[in-house]
């Protein structure tokens, strides 16, 4: 079982007696599974139960962290570098509204952090998602000028982070860290 169709992300494999199976959670809203029999028995197989996300777990964490990041007297006592790292991971793994909320928290962290709190180069997977969305929106003539909420949120995140690294004098290093060598070659060729 996995959260990706290629069975590379959040993979869980089980074999043998039911006692070897354990509960687990997958991020996102889709579960992929593959059942393979070795044909050694003629029994019916396995049964598993899928339950939608535990109500409130993500939302509760989101609300608590959002509130903590809104309290100026609390922010200096938070491990912002670690929270940043976790939230980037959440934003990369989640989908839909949960991804939007994670990006919202990333924006709050960038806005209230001081120099060096956030490793902005961790945003590379989100930058790749954003540039993919940018390239596709340029070709979408059905709805010109209309951005999806995720696209808008990523645009704002990268606008704010670019301003932050410009203030810190490290824009060139930031841009080099986010882009692939192939992308830089294409831009240079253009």
Distance (Å, whole) CA 160 – CA 112:
11
CB-based contacts of 109, cutoff 8 Å, min separation 6 = 69, 80, 83, 84, 87, 117, 118
Work out the percent of the chain whose per-residue pLDDT is above 90: 27
Complete DSSP assignment for 47-76? --------TTHHHHHHHHHHHHHH-TTTGG
Q: Would the pTM count as exceeding 0.75?
A: no
| Length of the chain measured in residues | 190
pLDDT in tens, 97-143: 889 999 999 999 998 887 677 888 899 999 989 988 888 765 545 55
On the question of pLDDT at 35 being above 80, the answer is yes
Residue 147's pLDDT band (boundaries 50, 70, 90)?
A: low
Cα–Cα distances in angstroms (integers) from residue 73 to residues 39, 68, 70, 90, in the given order: 63, 9, 9, 25
Distance (Å, whole) CA 128 – CA 41:
47
Distance (Å, whole) CA 15 – CA 7:
16
- 105-126 burial string, b = 16+ CB within 10 Å, else e? bbbbbbebbeeebbebebbeeb
Rg (CA), the chain: 21
22-31, 61-70, 109-118: which is most confident: 61-70
């Amino acid at each position: 079982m996995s959260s990706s169709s290629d069975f590379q992300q959040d993979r869980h494999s089980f074999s043998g007696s039911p006692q070897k199976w354990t509960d687990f959670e997958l991020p996102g809203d889709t579960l992929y599974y593959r059942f393979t029999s070795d044909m050694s028995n003629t029994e019916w197989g396995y049964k598993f139960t899928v339950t939608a996300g535990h109500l409130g777990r993500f939302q509760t964490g989101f609300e608590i962290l959002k509130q903590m990041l809104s309290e100026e007297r609390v922010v200096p006592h938070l491990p912002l570098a670690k929270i940043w790292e976790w939230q980037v991971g959440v934003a990369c793994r989640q989908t839909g509204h949960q991804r939007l909320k994670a990006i919202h928290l990333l924006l709050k962290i960038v806005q209230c952090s001081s120099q060096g709190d956030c490793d902005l180069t961790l945003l590379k997977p989100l930058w790749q998602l954003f540039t993919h969305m940018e390239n596709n929106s340029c070709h979408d003539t059905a709805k010109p000028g209309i951005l999806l909420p995720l696209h808008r949120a990523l645009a704002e995140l990268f606008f704010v982070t670019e301003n932050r690294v410009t203030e810190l004098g490290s824009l060139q290093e930031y841009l080099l860290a986010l882009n692939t060598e192939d992308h830089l070659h294409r831009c240079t060729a253009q």
